[in-house]
Chain A
Amino acid sequence: MSKIFWEKVKIKDKINFSENIIGFWLATENIAKNSRVGQFIHIKIDETANLILRRPFSITDVENDDILFIFRIVGRGTFLLSRLNKDDELDILGPLGKPIGIPEEKDILILGGGLGIAPLYFLSKTFLESKKNLFAIFGAKNNKELILKEKFEKLNFSRLIFYTEDGSYGMKGKVTDEIPQITKDKEFKIVYCAGPIEMLRKIKLMLKENIKIYGFLEERMGCGVGLCSACAIPKNDGTYLHLCEEGPCLLLNEILL
């Protein structure tokens, strides 16, 4: 287990992607420089401790000592978080979860839907630094919810295709609409994906069984550091693994989605 840090950090910048999608850049002491692709941070929401558990968020980007994470307001925790502003403090634990190594394969397919796009920026940036050929498809409901497109456009993808369900940016439709064509153009042996569970299920159904599919999963989490066994994910063989230790990016071929 790599070292876990507990830090009080300042919000360096707040990005309002839409009314309910927000990003925070945090200035950390040790967490950013120890963060690897695939890891997450665990954020204390409520100083009054009415909400006891932290909330886990995938790391979207790391620059020097700063970490970017992006979230959608879905409940009370994320609502309270959304009301914070630049210079406010956050109590965070990190980096948590299992880092993703650089795969051996040269050509990699990347599929991101909705907020699932968030962890794929750090992943893409790192894989590109290792001279991989990345073919990426990102999609969301509409232009506003299609986060990070400007940042992605600056990266050196072999192919980069955007989809919106209403056609307000890029192609009209869903990320999965592109899978038949892109897998016909090129034979992939490995895929990284993140997005709603229905999207991940569909990807698993559409791709050949010999393709390794790595996907970012979500589950209700307790400690986030491998102590409580709350975040159980069912495997095909009937056993469970713990998302905070083995994930959050898992080989979906082994997982019962």
Chain B
Amino acid sequence: MNLAQRIKNINFQNPILLASGTYGFGLKFKEIINLTGGIITKTITFNPIKGNPPPRIYEFEGGIINSIGLENPGAVYFKNKILPFLKNLDTNLIVSVGGTSIEEIINVIKVIEDNIISAYEINLSCPNVKEGGIILGKNPMVVENICKEVKRITKKPVIAKIPTLFCNPIEIVQAAEKGGADFITITNTIPGLVIDIEGQKPFLGGITGGISGPFLKYYSLYLIAKIRKIIKIPIIGCGGIRDYKDVLEYLLCGAMLVEIGTLNLANPFMVGEIIKDLKRWGRLKEIKDIKEIIKRMEIEI
């Protein structure tokens, strides 16, 4: 089965992307990264962020809750000290960009803009920082403006990773599309809180966190099914993928690409296995091209 697609002038050798925050900046496991359709880096902000106090991660049956707090070395460091080491990547480098204002997001892109970057994913939905991200992402006007401004300063495709809770996700995706976003990622982690009963306080050092993992798939699929006829731009499905079957669920439902995140924390080699399994499945079912699967399922919700 051919897994490759050309979407918005980007060649994806397969529909699997590594989700932001779960595969670092692309400096490690390059042989695995090169098997995928692309890596989305940890979110870069203008100034360095040291991140939240520990503990930063909690596990429950069906998922995890993280509260890293957008730890990153800042745009200038990324441009000078990290980007040069990513030149030899054999797949798409997608940089996740974040900030507390439209200006910050624009300034990050101005600093890091480089030929080796295939696209930008704008993180409008990080639930575990106090400012920015999710606050910007909840206002349709702001989302539209951010997409518009970003498109004005870069020719590269822009992916909007939007929040879907405590806002109207339909309005947000429409705003992103109107602003010129080329892709929508559905969904980021959703906000969560863990209580430590012994200490009678929140467990996570950053107080709140983002819930991810297998349970999130069902919420994400619902949203994709709901949104797929409302917008024309391609959807990137994200949430709880554990194996090739989960990838197929997303594609059938209407996503053209998927992001794998939490699974990388369990095993950084697993994405390679999923890609192999997808090919094997396609051979078995005598499907020639992955495009035959995408949006194949009819659904009205």
- Residues of A that sit less than 8 Å from B by CB: 1, 4, 6, 44, 49-54, 91, 93, 219-223, 225-234, 238-240
Which residues of A are found within 8 Å of B268, using beta-carbon distances? Answer: 4, 93, 223, 225, 227
Q: Is the CB of B55 within 8 A of A52?
A: no
Q: Is the CB of A49 within 8 A of B242?
A: yes
Asked if B264 is an interface residue, CB under 8 A from chain A, the answer is yes
Interchain CB contact (< 8 A) of A229 among B42, B53, B264 = B42
Asked if B28 is an interface residue, CB under 8 A from chain A, the answer is yes
> Per-residue CB proximity of B201-212 to A under 8 Å, as 1/0?
000010000000
Which residues of A are found within 8 Å of B55, using beta-carbon distances? Answer: 219-220
Asked if B61 is an interface residue, CB under 8 A from chain A, the answer is yes
A126 vs chain B, min Cβ distance (A): 26
Which residues of B are found within 8 Å of A220, using beta-carbon distances? Answer: 54-58
Which residues of B are found within 8 Å of A228, using beta-carbon distances? Answer: 21-22, 24, 57, 66, 68, 264-265
Q: Is the CB of A53 within 8 A of B50?
A: no
**C-alpha spacing A9/B68, complex, angstroms:** 32
Closest 9 A-B residue pairs measured CB to CB? A230-B57, A223-B265, A227-B24, A220-B55, A222-B265, A50-B61, A230-B56, A232-B54, A6-B269
**C-alpha spacing A51/B51, complex, angstroms:** 25
Q: Is the CB of B59 within 8 A of A227?
A: no
**C-alpha spacing A220/B67, complex, angstroms:** 12
Asked if B237 is an interface residue, CB under 8 A from chain A, the answer is no
**C-alpha spacing A181/B62, complex, angstroms:** 51
**C-alpha spacing A228/B52, complex, angstroms:** 13
Which residues of B are found within 8 Å of A229, using beta-carbon distances? Answer: 21, 42, 51, 56, 68, 71
> Per-residue CB proximity of B22-34 to A under 8 Å, as 1/0?
1110001100000
**C-alpha spacing A239/B66, complex, angstroms:** 19
Interchain CB contact (< 8 A) of A226 among B24, B52, B66, B205 = B24
Q: Is the CB of B54 within 8 A of A234?
A: yes
Closest to B68 in A: A229
| CB under 8 Å from chain A, chain B span 33-75 | 42, 50-59, 61-64, 66, 68, 71
A12 vs chain B, min Cβ distance (A): 23
Which residues of B are found within 8 Å of A240, using beta-carbon distances? Answer: 50-51, 54, 71
**With A44-B267, A228-B22, A230-B66 known to touch, is A53 a contact of B59 (CB < 8 Å)?**
yes
Which residues of B are found within 8 Å of A227, using beta-carbon distances? Answer: 22-24, 28-29, 264-265, 268
Which residues of B are found within 8 Å of A219, using beta-carbon distances? Answer: 54-55
| Secondary structure class of chain A's binding surface, majority of residues | loop
Interchain CB contact (< 8 A) of B54 among A4, A44, A53, A231 = A231
Q: Is the CB of B262 within 8 A of A52?
A: yes
Asked if B163 is an interface residue, CB under 8 A from chain A, the answer is no
A2 vs chain B, min Cβ distance (A): 11
Q: Is the CB of B267 within 8 A of A93?
A: yes
Q: Is the CB of B21 within 8 A of A52?
A: no
**C-alpha spacing A232/B242, complex, angstroms:** 26
**With A229-B42, A229-B68, A240-B50 known to touch, is A49 a contact of B28 (CB < 8 Å)?**
no
Asked if B169 is an interface residue, CB under 8 A from chain A, the answer is no
Which residues of B are found within 8 Å of A239, using beta-carbon distances? Answer: 50
Closest to B272 in A: A6
B269 vs chain A, min Cβ distance (A): 5
List 14 interface pairs A-B (beta carbons < 8 Å), by A numbering.
A6-B269, A49-B242, A51-B61, A53-B265, A222-B57, A222-B265, A225-B28, A226-B28, A231-B56, A231-B57, A232-B205, A238-B50, A240-B50, A240-B54
**With A220-B57, A227-B268 known to touch, is A232 a contact of B51 (CB < 8 Å)?**
yes
Interchain CB contact (< 8 A) of B53 among A225, A230, A234 = A234
B273 vs chain A, min Cβ distance (A): 10
Closest to B72 in A: A229
**C-alpha spacing A240/B71, complex, angstroms:** 9
Q: Identify the interface centre among A219, A226, A240: most chain B CB within 10 Å of its CB.
A: A240
Asked if B266 is an interface residue, CB under 8 A from chain A, the answer is yes
**C-alpha spacing A53/B59, complex, angstroms:** 7
**C-alpha spacing A177/B28, complex, angstroms:** 44
A243 vs chain B, min Cβ distance (A): 9
